[in-house]
Structure 1
Amino acid sequence: MKILVVTTWLPTAGHPETGAFVARDIEMLRADHDVEVLHLSASTEDTSVDFPVTRVPMSPSNPLSIARAARVIAARAAAADLIHSMAASALLPFRNLRLNRPWVHTEHWSALLAPSTAPLVARAALPLTARLLARPDIVISVGHDLAAAIARRRSGPTVVIPNAVIRPEVRQERPASDSITLVGVGGLISRKGPDIAIGALADLVARGVDARLIWAGDGPMRGELSRLAESLGVTDRWDLRGRVAPETVPDVVAEGDVFVLPTQMETFGVAIAEALVAGRPVVVGASGEQASFVAEPDGVLVAERSAGAFADGIQRAIALNEGRTAAEIAERATQIFDPEIRRRATADAYATARGAAPTADVEVVIAAHDARRRVDRAVSSALSSMTVARVLVICHNVDIEEMAACLGAVAEDERVVLVAFRDTVRSPAGPFNAGIELCTEKFIAIMGSDDELTPGAIDAWRRTASETRADVIIAPLRHAEGARVPTPPTLRHRGLRGARDRLAYRTAPLGLFSRARFGGLRLTPDLATGEDLAFTTRMWFSGASIVRHRAVGEYLIHDGEDRVTFTVRPVHEELRAVELLLIDEHTRAMSATDRTALAAKLWRISIFGAVHYRVGRWAADDRAAMSRLTHDLRAFAPAAPGLLSRADAALIDALADEQETNERIDNLSRARRRFFSPAALLPAQLSRVFAREAPLRFAFATWWSLR
């Protein structure tokens, strides 16, 4: 296919870092297509790239030059099959163009997220840029937050495809030295936080750490930073390299033990991703796209932009990665930023722009109980995926007109269907079941009305389902505040099995499931909580093809204080789902191995969780109900308590005894949460110390799942 690329950003000899990610995108396209590149630039400086470029003189502040550039684009577009613009300023010549060609645009501009980070002149252009972003057939964003900002400005599809992340030809181990070398890469501007990095260096030295800082980059803060380093007494420990060519950045990063960037915000964070892929732990600001791919132990997110906080983060990263190899640190990032995933996602975007959109065969069911909640956010995030055929909003005891008003313009999308549902039960089971019964497409996704999907998440899950022929896709979960949810705690991501991969720890069926395979399942009615327990137990132990999605595309949990699932209830009501599960004929027919795996989860999450949240506030009938359930669960899977920790087993024994004091129950609950104590690490049955559900392997798998 003949692609016409139009961009204002490309590397030059004087500014090799400018538009390096654009050049990488073009190189990727050239592997599959015939690509012509127009570089819109007022500079006469030659580009430093390895492919042919036609320079078109244009200044964003000169309307006449923009008009001339538009004429050149129109002439060259006639010979192209598709137009791909890259960077916000490249949109300017398209303002009055009406081209009969598919049009894809890639956006990186941080000012769309944080206008204050842009120069005053650029900020003045934001309204026009926002209007122009509505024009392309599809917009590619390099990050989820940026995609959400773009999606608010357009009705067409917006997808997330991360920047290219260069992998070093040879991944070098960290220097073997008693001193610590920090490396930062970024412009010497306030947003990147080089002053905080120097402050953190001084703080570490004051703590007795032999540390130095290498920084690659230049900018207006150079003089200010030199004076700061002198005032803090670390001039001889600060090595400013200035601008470096993008291809030499991996060599600079390899000199360090830890990568540090106290950034205020990143639309993607190329340098952060490349440091991880190079096998260096990172310590970076917590705001921005990097929060979606930086996780301990590979990296530490620091919310407070202060020298002391970053010094703490650096010491934590060093401790977490003691003894780890560069390959171990790089493993997760290398999987996330697989260039083949980028290539396929770009091909899908091109197909969409050309009218060959992927089949819309996913239906999303949202149970909405309150029109005052952000149901519009949930619905909009689902609609960001092209494979979504319908979003069924089940109006649970809420008037349809009231819910439509809550949704606003989102309700006008032809894919949104509002369904009336009334009952007398404050449970999500009824509306979810009503929605599942209405589904007719290949895959179903269910979603809480408080929650949100990252842009294009369902498209990403659907792509994984196609590639793996899965019946179920387990979505990656993250709290909206940033923390990942490490369930299921397994080292594998394909061919998952209930007991072997501890699938029971993922209670909610969040992701995709095949209607043909599981469309007959229903959530347990009349339960205020735990309504999905039997549903997923049937799913996880079915022998179906189950895959854990590992690329971009997350389910974000918004932890509202008044969520139905967060309400504290009497034990007999809160754990009714467990009682019903233990007498369910399908559950009782499971193998002993599967019952033991399920019971281990029920003890750790359901039973001990209920005890933990009742410390100091046991109701009159709670202990009797807990004692009965303890006896029933022991009988269901007798081997399970022996796999749990000695502290867990002591608590189980106490719960079985109705005469035991509440105070001792509370103390035993606290004791089992001292996770590094011998009683919490050793199983009750010492011969099972290396069993899959024993504390050591379970803890390791949980840690692994957070990577």
Structure 2
Amino acid sequence: MPIPPPPAGEQRGPDVDVVIAVHSALRPLDRAISSCHTGSGRVRVTVVCHNIASDEIQAGVQPRKDLPVRYVELHDGLNSPAGPKNAGLQLADAPYVLVLDSDDFLEPGAIQHWLELATARNADGVIVPLRHQSGAVIRTPRARASRIHDLDPVQDRLAYATAPRGLWRTGLLRSIGFKYTEGLQSGEDLAPGLHLWFSGATFEFPARGPRYVQGNDAVDRVTDTFLPLSREFDAIYRLDPRWLDSLTAAARRAVAVKLARTNLIGAMARRSASWDWSAEDLSAVEDLIRRLDEIHPGFRRPFARADRRLLNAAARAQTAPEAFLDALRQQRGANLLDRLLTPGLTANLDSESTLRQALRMAADWRRIFPV
């Protein structure tokens, strides 16, 4: 449904504010800005120059007459993307807002497609499909293959979409107090993303429409280094326990399973048994298991045998480090059945089970036919 023009003689502000935070003149910002062009003048781009002069950033961007771009500076001395993103969101006053990373870009027609869908469905937001710059589809959220309208945060596993990429009603973000967690080097989007998914808002997911593209060619990108696990898990510890308690049991379980599967197991597997595990890192693993048990004590049920052994050993990582490292080695070398099947057969029927996750991804038509 095309967006109707304003009455004759009446000027209309932008329908969409795009927020781009940038901290280096070496980032491909011009590409990101160019991808926001719709040809209709309904988009305004706000570039937040983080700890850098706007003149230095603007020098690498082609001037445009058909796309309003405003530059603001934020000098907070912090190595965190949360501050500039929040600053840009505070300036947004269009009906819809989208946050675009300076490395990334949008496929042609993306904003117009998402805006028309949100308007036609009267949706609070559009969860946008993602791909890598190489072309590989990013399979988040892990939604039901047939689900496009009115996604359910539990059944469509929205918690796995940690970074809330999408087009959102500005009023919705204001009403839930959406704010990236400041002071974090990573994970600044975890808390606001979960608050968004479980806000009761209505979401669309045009899985085969134009995509948000995650770029990987920034020339100033450095190799990722491992943070101490207490810092890597800091975003999880900052989740408001009162907010978690307000969720349904199913929602708390969905959050705990996601955090265990991607944040905890992912962090342990990336380091492996050969990592020089410090007492502090082992303690952080134990602490996180306890926190996940507090969120939902049944979170381990849907995990496959190899992962379940690792989670059980992680609960005693500091007190029994050799057993923990052995479980890490077993998890890495596990056979297919141990990687897929739960210890109890009936748990394989769980919607969050490793087996059902694998089958769902293998049969996902969005992966097989990504365009």
**TM value normalised by structure 1:** 0.47
Q: Aligned residue for 1:512?
A: 167
Q: Aligned residue for 1:687?
A: 346
Counterpart residue type for residue 361 of structure 1: D
Describe how 1:601-612 pairs up with structure 2 within 5 A.
Answer: 601-612=258-269
Worse-matched range after superposition: 384-393 or 486-495: 384-393
User: Aligned in 2, Cα 1:679/1:385: closer, same or farther, shift over 3 Å?
Assistant: farther
Q: CA deviation at 1:394?
A: 0.6
Q: CA deviation at 1:468?
A: 1.3
For the residues of structure 2 that align with 1:462 and 1:564, how far apart are their CA atoms? 35
Q: Aligned residue for 2:329?
A: 667
For the residues of structure 2 that align with 1:458 and 1:599, how far apart are their CA atoms? 33
1:706 to 359, 367, 370: 367
Describe how 1:346-385 pairs up with structure 2 within 5 A.
Answer: 360-384=14-38
1:490 to 121, 138, 143: 143
Q: Aligned residue for 1:444?
A: 97
Contact 2:36 2:43 survives alignment (8 Å): no
Counterpart residue type for residue 203 of structure 2: I
User: Aligned in 2, Cα 1:437/1:656: closer, same or farther, shift over 3 Å?
Assistant: same
Describe how 1:289-438 pairs up with structure 2 within 5 A.
Answer: 360-384=14-38, 386=40, 388-410=42-64, 415-438=68-91
For the residues of structure 2 that align with 1:560 and 1:668, how far apart are their CA atoms? 35
For the residues of structure 1 that align with 2:129 and 2:222, how far apart are their CA atoms? 22
Counterpart residue type for residue 242 of structure 2: E
Q: CA deviation at 1:424?
A: 2.2
Q: CA deviation at 1:490?
A: 1.7
Describe how 1:123-522 pairs up with structure 2 within 5 A.
Answer: 360-384=14-38, 386=40, 388-410=42-64, 415-491=68-144, 492-519=147-174, 520-522=177-179
Contact 1:450 1:558 survives alignment (8 Å): yes
For the residues of structure 2 that align with 1:385 and 1:544, how far apart are their CA atoms? 30
**TM value normalised by structure 2:** 0.88
Contact 2:126 2:203 survives alignment (8 Å): yes
Counterpart residue type for residue 392 of structure 1: T
For the residues of structure 1 that align with 2:92 and 2:222, how far apart are their CA atoms? 25
1:595 to 252, 261, 284: 252
User: Aligned in 2, Cα 1:359/1:554: closer, same or farther, shift over 3 Å?
Assistant: farther
1:646 to 305, 309, 320: 305
For the residues of structure 1 that align with 2:78 and 2:231, how far apart are their CA atoms? 13
Counterpart residue type for residue 367 of structure 2: L
Q: CA deviation at 1:565?
A: 10
Structure 2: give runs of 5+ residues left out of the alignment: none
Q: CA deviation at 1:351?
A: 8.4
Query: Cα deviations across residues 575-603 of structure 1 (Å, max 9, x unaligned)?
Result: 1111212x432123211110111111111
Q: Kindly report the root-mean-square deviation, in angstroms, between the aligned alpha carbons of the 2 structures.
A: 2.6
Query: Cα deviations across residues 270-289 of structure 1 (Å, max 9, x unaligned)?
Result: xxxxxxxxxxxxxxxxxxxx
1:556 aligns to 2:210 (yes or no): no
SS, match of residue 420 in structure 1: strand
For the residues of structure 1 that align with 2:224 and 2:197, how far apart are their CA atoms? 24
For the residues of structure 2 that align with 1:560 and 1:663, how far apart are their CA atoms? 36
SS, match of residue 301 in structure 2: helix
For the residues of structure 1 that align with 2:10 and 2:143, how far apart are their CA atoms? 37
Q: CA deviation at 1:499?
A: 0.8
SS, match of residue 478 in structure 1: strand
User: Aligned in 2, Cα 1:560/1:641: closer, same or farther, shift over 3 Å?
Assistant: farther
Query: Cα deviations across residues 137-156 of structure 1 (Å, max 9, x unaligned)?
Result: xxxxxxxxxxxxxxxxxxxx
User: Aligned in 2, Cα 1:617/1:413: closer, same or farther, shift over 3 Å?
Assistant: farther
For the residues of structure 2 that align with 1:358 and 1:553, how far apart are their CA atoms? 26
For the residues of structure 1 that align with 2:33 and 2:243, how far apart are their CA atoms? 34
Q: Aligned residue for 1:54?
A: none
Q: CA deviation at 1:622?
A: 1.4
Contact 2:309 2:327 survives alignment (8 Å): no
SS, match of residue 631 in structure 1: helix
Q: CA deviation at 1:551?
A: 4.0
For the residues of structure 2 that align with 1:596 and 1:406, how far apart are their CA atoms? 46
Counterpart residue type for residue 238 of structure 2: L
Worse-matched range after superposition: 561-570 or 520-529: 561-570
Counterpart residue type for residue 454 of structure 1: E
Query: Cα deviations across residues 101-138 of structure 1 (Å, max 9, x unaligned)?
Result: xxxxxxxxxxxxxxxxxxxxxxxxxxxxxxxxxxxxxx
| Bigger Rg, structure 1 or 2 | 1
2:229 to 547, 571, 583: 571
Q: Aligned residue for 1:527?
A: 184
For the residues of structure 2 that align with 1:521 and 1:634, how far apart are their CA atoms? 26
SS, match of residue 99 in structure 2: strand
Contact 1:443 1:512 survives alignment (8 Å): yes
1:585 aligns to 2:256 (yes or no): no
For the residues of structure 1 that align with 2:235 and 2:249, how far apart are their CA atoms? 21
Query: Cα deviations across residues 530-564 of structure 1 (Å, max 9, x unaligned)?
Result: 11111111111111111102343110011257658
User: Aligned in 2, Cα 1:628/1:565: closer, same or farther, shift over 3 Å?
Assistant: farther
Q: CA deviation at 1:693?
A: 0.5
Contact 1:648 1:680 survives alignment (8 Å): yes
SS, match of residue 417 in structure 1: strand
SS, match of residue 393 in structure 1: strand
Greater relative contact order structure (CA < 8 Å, 6+ sep):
2
Q: CA deviation at 1:461?
A: 0.7
User: Aligned in 2, Cα 1:399/1:651: closer, same or farther, shift over 3 Å?
Assistant: same
Counterpart residue type for residue 531 of structure 1: E
Q: Aligned residue for 1:318?
A: none
Contact 1:367 1:432 survives alignment (8 Å): yes
Counterpart residue type for residue 211 of structure 2: E
Q: Deviating runs (4+, > 6 A) in structure 1?
A: 349-352, 355-359
Q: Percent identity?
A: 34
Structure 1: give runs of 5+ residues left out of the alignment: 1-343
User: Aligned in 2, Cα 1:687/1:565: closer, same or farther, shift over 3 Å?
Assistant: farther
For the residues of structure 1 that align with 2:209 and 2:310, how far apart are their CA atoms? 40
- Count the aligned residue pairs: 354
For the residues of structure 1 that align with 2:180 and 2:39, how far apart are their CA atoms? 26
Q: CA deviation at 1:395?
A: 0.3
For the residues of structure 1 that align with 2:328 and 2:42, how far apart are their CA atoms? 47
